[in-house]
Every structure is written in structure tokens, then in C-alpha cells.
Structure 1
């Protein structure tokens, strides 16, 4: 075989591979990757996104504006898998293209894929901007970013994206026979076109492969990725600075060799101390009491917590009786409580951002490089076929594995999932009890 034979990249297929004409290991690896990886990834992605939609749709989760973005993201990822991964896998294994079987599907498939992928990227961008504003101006941002506001923003973004990609519906045509394609494009372009679903004319082919490709890379890839990266770096820096300030404001209470056991019943508290010499800097935790009586400071009689002094026993009475009252040991300071509450969304956002960069950036680079290549040697063709399936698998992982990212990095998501599983077990057991 002549390894120095040059072939135009436009004539190369990267999906339905045939490695019988060459003996390159890259082509064989790509051939088996198409048959092994996509199907399990599709199953995991469909079930994972369905579970994400179920969990994020629960009333407790819908109260959080972040859950609205994640809910739309799960639905968008599922659409990308059904319209992207599934048809490409079937075509690579069997050689059958779904777009050739239906006129409507021929016109709408790429429209749906472009819209869903762009929507997923912009959702992550909007989520980053929301967390950034919540970090910089938490009071104003919490008033602004409500679940209703997030829903309006998501629907508006989706409408704009669908409208901007609507030209694809009119840019493809389902031809009745090959002679129509030959008359429209001529002999030079005829081999690179698929029958019967192809471009509507030469002008749109040039626009879609060149101009629109550049617009997609800039508007839906590089610009959102830059915003996401800068936003997450800013959020991380702000969290680190707040943590340092918090440690200065609420230093860790250190009580050496103390074994304090409290038995709090109604309005009494009985601390038990070791008889060993100790050095106590603050008074031990006290028991909260509920005051339901109406008064000048509590006109509505609403329950409120007040703290009482602890009666100490033994030789340590003089050491701690004059110390100021402190909070309960397990009670989190207000500033720290808000930090803990915000930890889960921020950690989830960081995890999703890193995963998005790792899985999406290689595919973007691959598309840019392909547009700059004219002809390739046969050995380089096999390498590009292997590279194509690898970057496609990485991109599909971004759509298929978000459920596991939510579960690992999202504390609220994990808790709601456990509640869902627990309630499901109870309902399942009641069926057999009847």
C-alpha cells in the first residue's frame, strides 16, 4: 500500500469505518471503540439524566434557583444523546442513517443538536454568573435570582438559541434521487455529499461549513468557556478570602481534656466534667430554652431561643463561673452557616466546570484543526479517525455523566436522592403488605 498517497479530508468518513483496505492499528482501535463505548454510555446517560430530572423536579429542590438551571441542563443533555450519540452509533455500526429515512428528521436533526449543545453551554455560563453575583453581592442577588427568574431566563435563552439555529431547517433537503444532487452540486462535490439528505445548494454549504462554523466556535464555545473560567476563578478566590476572614472572626474553641456530657431535659442542663485539672477559656455549651410567653420583646408569642447560665460543680467553679455565655457547641455561627449552605452549589459548579473543560475543549480544538487541513496521508487518516471517536466520546461523557457529578459534589442533591430512594422503598414494601 502506498502510504504517501494524499487524500482530501472532505472525502474521509470518520463514522462507518472500513479497515479492510489497510492494516493500521489506529483504524482498528477506532473501529472497536465505536462498537464498545457508545452503547453503555448512551444507557447510562439516558437513565442518569432521567433520574436528575426526577430529583431536581421535587418541591424541595425547585425552591433553589440553581436547581432550575440543572433541570434544564439534564433535559438538554438527554436530547443531545438521543439526537447525536444514538444516530451516530447506529450509522457507525450498521451504516444506516436515520436522516435518510425521514424528510422531517433530515431537516431537524442538526437543528436540534446545535440548539441543545449550545443551550447546555450557555446554561453553565448562566449558572456561573449567578454564583458569581451571589458571591459578590449576596443580598441583592438573592432577591433577584429566584426560581421564577431562573425559569424566565432559561426559557428566553432557549428561545434565542432555537431562533438563531433555525436556518438549518431550511439549509438541508431530502433529495428524491442522486441525479438531483449531481445537477445541483456537480461532479466535484457529489462524492462528499450524503444521499438523500444533503445541503440545499452550494451557497448554503459554503456558509454552513465556513461562516457558521466560525460563529459557533466563537459564540457558543470560546466566549462562554472564557466567562466560565474567569467566573470560577473569581468565585474560588473570593471563597478563600472569606474563609480567612471567617477564621479570624470565629476562631476555633479549644477545650483541652474535657469530657462534657449534657443531659438536656426541658429547661434543665446537667454538665458532667472530668475531675482532672483542665484549662477552660470559655464556658461550656448551654441548653436552649423556648420562651412562648408574650411580652414587650415578644408581642406575638413566637417561639424563641434564650440561653441560661450553667451551674458548675467541683473545683472548677471559680474558673468558669464568671466567663461569658457562648453558643451551643454544635451551633454554627451565622456567617459560617451561610458558608456551609453555599458550599454545595459552589463545589458542584467547580466540578461541572472542570469536567466541561476537560471533555469539550478537545472536541473544539479537533474541529478547528480539521478546518485547516486539506489533504492527508493514509496513515494520518487512520490517526484522525481514532482522534475523532476519542474526542466524541469525551463530549458525550459531558452529556451522560452529569448525574454522577451532581451526586458526588452536590450535598443537597445527594440528600434529596436518598429521600427519594427511601420513599420508594417504603411504597414498594407497602405493595407487598397489602
Structure 2
């Protein structure tokens, strides 16, 4: 049996192998579920990411493009495969325009989704290793420009697909070229959208298969793996450095130390233990004091200086009120920015891991199938099952991003809850619920 039969409608007659029946049930359930979930999820992604609190972040531009390209891929490639595997016909049969553009749009959308992840990886890497440069260069305009250039390059590379497929109207007597009679066993009447020539068919199954696999799978996956390893190393090194050099806020440490010291002294220290404890604290904060505090006036003045000053003490123990320092509110803002960066990094890890786990099996299957010619019916059934499983995994990669956003992003989750709450309130005003 020729392996081209694996690409056609899944029929289990006359052998009725178990693998064939499993493949048919998988085509009935998983891809259709992925299309439904992916369409709803990606639509919600676009709506939520375009809300005011989220669209101000340039990196969300990449996520919006990713959602649109994922939905496009599901409604072109995935839907076409499901219809043809189950029923033997697709919407490619309804004219030359659909025959030529469906493959082109599907290839472009799928490839663009993988390269958007590369752009996200580059954004996260720059944000961690060169934050000043990242804030300056990664603006809304530049992010849109990067996505536009990437999409244009991919579309130009895929233009050969617009030329390579041709629609044959068998109802009006059109037939395949005689050169295909000895090279294919696909029933032409079941698949009128076919290669324009034997030369292009050979190019498509050999050279183009290698080119597309390299450009749209291998290189993006390698970039994602290397980039995420680099990001993880930067995060680990920063945490180690922070843990090693962690020093408590001197302002509040000194203030609390002075209060403790004031409770245990009245002009002079009451015990040698209190005196030693105070000296240890002051030495750790690099605050040089000679002797002890011998008057309530000096102690009160010290407390006043520490509580009213907005600066950290210098190495010689003096305070400069005109130095700019991180206040409490600025510290909270910095923590919020750090958490948002952690959520974005965690989201990138989830999406890249999903891409790797779902794309590699499909790529391996395509490589193996491309090197097989005539196989036994049993092997053909196994290939049908493998194709159903690997393609279903691939479709999951384009359908589950909404759940990754919901789990990894607190701000995304909050916007989702806010949108649901506002929708309920609007419905209540209309007396619908």
C-alpha cells in the first residue's frame, strides 16, 4: 500500500485493523475539540489583551498576534485535515482560490506562531539582561514592526504554495496531467486540489519539506531552548546574588534599633548586655558611634533624624536629606514590576515547553513518512494512527494558550474576572439574568 493513502480519508475496510478504528475516533474527537476550544480561547485572548490595563505593555502585542495566527491555523490547516480524514472532502474543492490560498494561509499562520515565540524569547532576554535598552527599544511601534516584518518574510517564503497547487474541475472534463498516472495512487476525484506539476510535487516532498521543517520547526525550537536556558540562568544568578548580598533596609533597622536602645537605656546603658547588643547593630549598619548616649536630648534627636530622613546613612554615619532614595511606594512599584516580569517569564516557559512537546512528534512523523514508499496494510494503519495522534498534539499547541495565560498571569486573570463581573452587571441592567 502506498503511503499516500495515509493522507487520504481514513477507511478501515477491508482489514479492520484496531489502529485504523482508533485513528478514526481520534479524528472525530480531539481535533474538533481543539478547534472549538482554540477558537473561543484565542478570541478571549484578543479581547482581554486589548483591554486598557494590558494593552499598555508592549510584549502583549506579540501575544495578540500569536492568538490571531493560532486561530487562523486551526481554521485552515486543522479543519481541512479533519474534514478530509473523516469525510474525504474539504473546502479546497470549492474553487481555485481556496485551493491555492488555504495551504498558503495555513503554512504562514503556523510558521508565524512559532516565530512569535522567538520574538517573545528575545523580548524576555533583553528585559532581563539589558532592561534600559529594552525599555527604550521595545515600544508598541517597534513590536508591531517586528511582527509585521516577520510575517512578511514568512509569507514571501511560502509564495511557492500559491503557484504549486491547482484546482481541477472534473465536472467540466478537466483531468490530471498524464505525468501523475505512474507516481500517485490518490484518487483524483476525491481530491481535486492537487499539485500543478510532477516537478513541483517532487520539490514539495523533498526540498520544501526540509526547508519548511528547518525554518518553521528546528530553528524556532533551538532559539526557544537556548533563549529560555539563558533566561533561567540569569534568574538563578540574580537570585543567588540577591540572597548573598541581601541587606535589610537601614532606615527601618536603625529606627527600630534606636527604639530598642531607648527602652533599655536611661541616660546610660542599664547592662553590659544591652550595650553589646547596641554596638553589634550599629557596627552591622556601618554607623560609627563613639561612647554612649548620655542625654535624653541626644537620643530624641537621633530618633527624629532617623524617622524624618528619607535617605539611607552614608558610610561615615551622616545623613544627607537631599539624596534621592527608594521610598516605600517606589519599593512597592518595583516589586509589582518584578512580579509582572516573573509572570511573563513563566508564561514564556509554558508556551515554549508546549511548542516543543507538541511539535517534535509531528516533525518526527513527517520525516519518517517522507522516507517510506510502499508499506503493508498493517503498517499503513499504524501510520494513520500516528498521524492522528501527532497532528492532534500539534493542534493542542494552537488551542491551549488561553489556559497558559490564565494560570501564569495574575494580571490576565484579574482582567478576566473583571470582564466577567462587568458582563454580569450589564446583563443585570438589561434584566436578562
What TM-score results when the alignment is normalised by the length of structure 1?
Answer: 0.78
- 2:8–2:186 contact (8 Å) kept in structure 1: no
Aligned counterparts of 1:128 and 1:427: Cα–Cα separation in 2? 39
Name the SS of the counterpart of 2:177 in structure 1.
helix
Separation in 1 of the partners of 2:130 and 2:150? 24
Q: Cα deviation per residue 1:311-366 (whole Å; 9 max; x = unaligned)?
A: xxxxxxxxxxxxx9x99999857765543231111010011111111111111111
> Contact 1:177–1:196 at 8 Å: present in 2 too?
yes
Q: Structure 1, residues 200-255: CA drift from partner, whole Å, max 9, x if none?
A: 111111111111111101111111110110000000110011111222333579xx
Q: Does 1:104 align with 2:97?
A: yes
Segments of structure 2 that go 5 or more residues without pairing to the other structure are: 250-255, 257-262, 264-276, 283-304, 310-318, 320-324
Does 1:142 pair with 2:138? no
Q: Distance in 1 between matches of 2:63 and 2:328?
A: 35
For the 8 Å contact 1:246–1:336, the answer to whether it is kept is no
Which position in structure 1 is the counterpart of 2:398? 399
Instruction: Pick closer, same or farther for the CA change 1:186–1:236 going to 2, 3 Å.
Output: closer
**Aligned counterpart for 1:9 among listed residues 3, 9, 12:** 3
Q: Deviations over 1:114-171 (max 9, x none)?
A: 1000100110011101111111111111110012210111111111211221121111
Residue 189 (structure 2) pairs with residue 158 (structure 1): no
Aligned length: 370
Q: Which residue of 1 aligns with 2:240?
A: 244
Structural mapping, 1:7-156, within 5 Å: 7-10=1-4, 12-156=5-149
CA contact (8 A) 2:168 2:176 kept: no
CA distance in 2, matches of 1:200, 1:433: 56
Q: Which residue of 2 aligns with 1:234?
A: 230
Q: Which residue of 1 aligns with 2:293?
A: none
- CA displacement at 1:378 relative to structure 2: 1.8
Deviation of residue 426 (structure 1)?
A: 2.1
Alignment correspondent of 1:321: none
Instruction: Note if 1:420 corresponds to 2:409.
Output: no
User: Superposition pairs for residues 310-321 of structure 1, below 5 Å?
Assistant: none
* C-alpha distance 161-282 of structure 1, shift in aligned 2 (>3 A): farther
Q: TM-score, normalised by structure 2?
A: 0.78
Q: Secondary structure at the match of 1:198?
A: strand
Q: Using a 3 Å threshold, how does the CA distance of structure 1 residues 186 and 71 change in structure 2: closer, same or farther?
A: closer
CA drift of 1:32 comes to: 1.1
Deviates more, 1:35-44 or 1:62-71: 35-44
TM-aligned CA distance change 1:331 to 1:282, over 3 Å: farther
Contact persistence 1:26–1:382 (CA under 8 A): yes
- Partner Cα distance (1:203, 1:125) in 2: 34
Root-mean-square deviation (Å)? 3.1
Distance (whole Å) between structure 1 residues aligned to residue 335 and residue 403 of structure 2: 27
How far apart in 2 are the matches of 1:124 and 1:358?
Answer: 14
**Is the partner of 1:389 in helix, strand or coil?**
helix
Q: Judging changes above 3 Å, is the alpha-carbon distance between structure 1 residues 139 and 42 closer, same or farther for their aligned structure 2 residues?
A: same
Q: What residue number does 1:287 align with?
A: none
CA contact (8 A) 2:2 2:185 kept: no
Task: Determine the C-alpha separation between the residues in 2 that align with 1:356 and 1:203.
Answer: 33
The 1-side partners of 2:418 and 2:335 are apart by 26
**1:375 CA drift (Å):** 2.5
In structure 2, what is the equivalent of residue 256 of structure 1?
none
Residue 349 of structure 2: aligned partner: 350
Check whether the contact 2:92–2:102 (CA below 8 A) recurs between aligned residues.
Answer: yes
CA distance in 1, matches of 2:431, 2:375: 65
The structure whose Rg is larger is 2
Q: Cα distance 1:151–1:26, how it changes in 2: closer, same or farther (>3 A)?
A: same
Cα displacement (A) at 1:415 = 1.9
**Mapping for residues 144-223 of structure 1, pairs under 5 Å:** 144-177=137-170, 180-192=174-186, 194=188, 195-223=191-219
Conserved 8 A contact 1:184-1:201: no
Query: Which structure dedicates a bigger proportion of its chain to helix?
Result: 2
Q: Which runs of 5+ in 1 are unaligned?
A: 1-6, 254-259, 261-272, 274-278, 284-305, 311-323
Relative to structure 1, the CA distance from residue 24 to residue 422 in structure 2 (aligned partners, 3 Å threshold; closer, same or farther) is same
